[in-house]
Structure 1
Amino acid sequence: MSGVLDHVMMRVEDLEESLDWYTTHLDYEEKGRWEADTFTNVYLGPEEMHDEGAMLELTYNHDDRTYEMGDAWGHIAVRVPEGELEEHYEQLLDEGVEDYRDPESCGGRYAFVKDPDGHEVEIVQRDADLPTWSLDHTMIRVEDADEALGFWARKFEYVPDGRWESDTFANYFMKPRGASDAAMTVELTYNYDGRSYTMGDAWGHLCVRADDLHDYWETLMEREADDYRDPASCEDRYAFTRDQDGHEIEILNPES
């Protein structure tokens, strides 16, 4: 489906260590790989993936650079069947994953672990028909909730898929109209205290699928999206825009 999230990219400092972590603990398998002279991209996901399911892209730069996490990006979230949160969290601990935020500390509704580079991974409970450990959402922090919601609604035709509002912050979940439950949502987190965020470079981008890259890009430009890296500058294979806070969003036709 055009418009669904295809993948989320994060940068890692040791590719083999990261691959071992995700394949061992989340049972991911390699779905694709791109080897360039200076970097490697590896795409991961569960063995069985829905057509609208999203992948995790690990990017490794060959110059051994280190990364700053920043706080403009929050976490990825992966699914486990309803009622099995504690079981799966304990399984991760038994496998040697560090105890970070256990289910009890999160009201029994979710939990968090960290990968070898410190990227936070939330564990959420969902319908048992969805593949275990599949990507549920990616959370980003935004400085203006109205502007962020308007961005995803106007530029990408996303619609609300849930919200959580507390005394100090709100979470808004967005995805394309008509997308299946298997599609990854984007979670927009807005803190009421007016704080600003640093982007860092440990996280890379979200990626939106397009049936036709050039038509999709033209529509984004008509809707006044940021002309950041157009298709021509990316060998007509993909393109990039940015949201109002600077989070990068790739546009890609996976079939091209």
Structure 2
Amino acid sequence: MDGTLDHTMIRVADLEESLDWYGTHLDYEEKDRYEGDGFTIVYMGPEEMHEEGALLELTHNEGGDDLEMGDAWGHIAVRVPEDELQESYDELMEGGVDDYRDPESCGNRYAFVKDPDGHEIEIVKRDYGEKWSIDHTMIRVEDADEALGFWNRKFEYEETGRWESDTFANYFVKPRGASKEAMAVELTYNYDGRTYDLGDAWGHLCVRVDDLHEDWDQLMEREAEDYRDPESCDDLYAFTKDPDGHEIELIERDPDAESLFPF
């Protein structure tokens, strides 16, 4: 199993508005799109993509204007150079992005903005990766031990960082041997025992695999949830779920294919 995080999917109410927002403010370009029956999927990302870099998938469903954000979904984080956090935030403000959490309010360590649908986007300082490339996707979990065990046992991910406070902890996981430019999963665990609502505004994480059927069978041997197997997805992709119900897609990538979609 390759295990690289291929993309993170969010749902949007107005596709053209979202395409314009990400294109204008984060300099993302459209990489590919698929027009389905009642829905459209668009892959976006920086012009220069690292081979292990993650895409952003925007999904728009016809009539899907009323999206429930939920609180189990946290945010995506995008990178800016170490010395450009304030400058980058000011650039977004000048471009008309709403002021949400500026660098000063976050101890000048990071900042946050929101896209047109209210998806939170963290801005983090990194000395690697293209500006605005995706650094990590944060999801909230109800049992940290169970969540860490899931990613380690099912996908062979390893913990690459953690930050613990008096009330919560953040754990970062990636495939073993992943590059710095690869997207991580941030697992946020609050110590107070709260539960979360998944909502429908966030869709899934996607893991790139070497062989869809072989890797799916391996996941089943490791007791992953049999949610949508390859056969039910026309042998093009598959889905499992983590212990908190977050959906995880499995997909093969042919680097020589004309389309990013396995259709």
Same fold by TM (over 0.5)?
yes
- Code of the aligned partner of 2:110: Y
Question: Could you tell me whether the CA contact under 8 Å between 2:14 and 2:65 is conserved in 1?
Answer: no
- Corresponding residue for 2:152? 153
- Corresponding residue for 1:87? 87
Matched, 1:117 2:117: yes
2:32 & 2:165 partners in 1: Cα distance?
40
- Corresponding residue for 1:182? 181
1:171 & 1:202 partners in 2: Cα distance?
22
- Corresponding residue for 1:35? 35
- Code of the aligned partner of 1:25: H
Deviation at 1:85, TM superposition (A): 0.2
- Corresponding residue for 1:233? 232
Post-superposition CA distance 1:45-94 (Å, at most 9, x none): 00001000000000000124411000001000000001110000000000
Instruction: Report the 3-state secondary structure (helix = DSSP H, G, I; strand = E; otherwise coil) of the residue aligned with 2:188.
Output: strand
Deviation at 1:2, TM superposition (A): 1.0
Structure 1, unaligned runs of 5 or more: none
Structure 2, unaligned runs of 5 or more: 255-261
- Corresponding residue for 1:48? 48
Post-superposition CA distance 1:194-223 (Å, at most 9, x none): 000000000000000001111110110000
Poorly superposed stretches of 4+, deviation over 4 Å: none
- Corresponding residue for 1:70? 70
Instruction: Report the 3-state secondary structure (helix = DSSP H, G, I; strand = E; otherwise coil) of the residue aligned with 1:179.
Output: coil
1:130 & 1:71 partners in 2: Cα distance?
28
Matched, 1:203 2:190: no
Instruction: Report the 3-state secondary structure (helix = DSSP H, G, I; strand = E; otherwise coil) of the residue aligned with 2:42.
Output: strand
2:64 & 2:72 partners in 1: Cα distance?
23
Matched, 1:250 2:249: yes
- Code of the aligned partner of 2:248: I
- Code of the aligned partner of 2:16: E
Deviation at 1:240, TM superposition (A): 0.1
Post-superposition CA distance 1:213-249 (Å, at most 9, x none): 1111011000000000000000000000000000000
1:207 & 1:38 partners in 2: Cα distance?
22
Instruction: Report the 3-state secondary structure (helix = DSSP H, G, I; strand = E; otherwise coil) of the residue aligned with 1:218.
Output: helix
2:54 & 2:61 partners in 1: Cα distance?
22
2:180 & 2:96 partners in 1: Cα distance?
31
Matched, 1:11 2:23: no
- Corresponding residue for 1:194? 193
Instruction: Report the 3-state secondary structure (helix = DSSP H, G, I; strand = E; otherwise coil) of the residue aligned with 2:239.
Output: strand
2:28 & 2:253 partners in 1: Cα distance?
20
- Code of the aligned partner of 2:181: A
**Could you state the TM-score of these two structures normalised by the residue count of structure 2?**
0.96
- Corresponding residue for 2:258? none
Provide the aligned C-alpha RMSD in A: 0.8
Deviation at 1:130, TM superposition (A): 1.1
- Corresponding residue for 1:142? 141
Post-superposition CA distance 1:9-38 (Å, at most 9, x none): 000000000000000000000111111121
1:122 & 1:63 partners in 2: Cα distance?
29
- Code of the aligned partner of 2:185: V
